[in-house]
Amino acid sequence: MKQIIYFLLFIIIPIPNILSQENKSRFGAEVDFIPWYFDTFSRQTPMFTVSGFIGGYYEHFFSNSISLKTTAGIHNATYKWFENSTYGGKKVRSWQTMLEIKVEPRFYFWDNQQKWGNLFAGLPLSIETGPFQNNPYKDIFQTPTIRAIPIIGYQYYFTNHFFVEANAGLGWRHDSYPTQSSNDLDYLLGLRFGLSF
């Protein structure tokens, strides 16, 4: 009889722990639309464009308010640039596709409440490889871009699985090339649609 009781306790005791962990993580897919200032501020080349991102994410909750989100995917941007490097030159449309990996600590102000949405603050730290096209260095891993941009955002779940999110922030960007590197201000402004499983 003792063996049966121990066996039942072995099965039943972990159940509350499993249930309590239910809301401790999310994973899924997301699509971002990002109004993007293609070149950095100090270079004075205002190539404003809209870029897109598609990828997967995993968000682990350490409490109802604090989480760590990791994202990996493809960032694509179309833009116009001046062929002769002067504002009087001919504008040429081009595009770049980059691989992006991001880690973002987050703080939810309303304890991860999903019914009416939630306001959050985050610090996305991202690294992008150089472009797959129009890359004079051939090897995309020779031209990484690193960003650290504190953001404020709002997340709203339409259902238990579909959500929309808007965020904005201002921070730092580092571009690295084989012959030189640069540091500059950068911003993040975006709209995200996501699916959590």
> pTM for the complete prediction?
0.77
Residues 143-179 have pLDDT tens digits of 888 999 999 999 998 888 899 999 999 999 888 877 7
Q: Report residue 62's pLDDT band, with 50, 70 and 90 as the boundaries.
A: very high
What's the token pair of residue 132? 């797959």
Residues 45-56 have pLDDT tens digits of 555 677 889 999
- Number of folded domains in the chain? 1
DSSP secondary structure string, 4-26?
Answer: HHHHHHHHHTHHHHHHHTGGGEE
Which residue has better confidence, 71 or 38? Answer: 71
Find the domain containing 172 and state its range: 30-196
DSSP secondary structure string, 101-122?
Answer: EEEEEEEETTTT--SS-EEEEE
**End-to-end Cα distance, the chain:** 41
- Position 97 in a domain: yes
- Position 172 in a domain: yes
* Lowest mean pLDDT across 8-17, 80-89, 154-163: 8-17
- Position 15 in a domain: no
The CATH number linked to 64 is 2.40.160
Q: What one-letter code names the amino acid at 15?
A: I
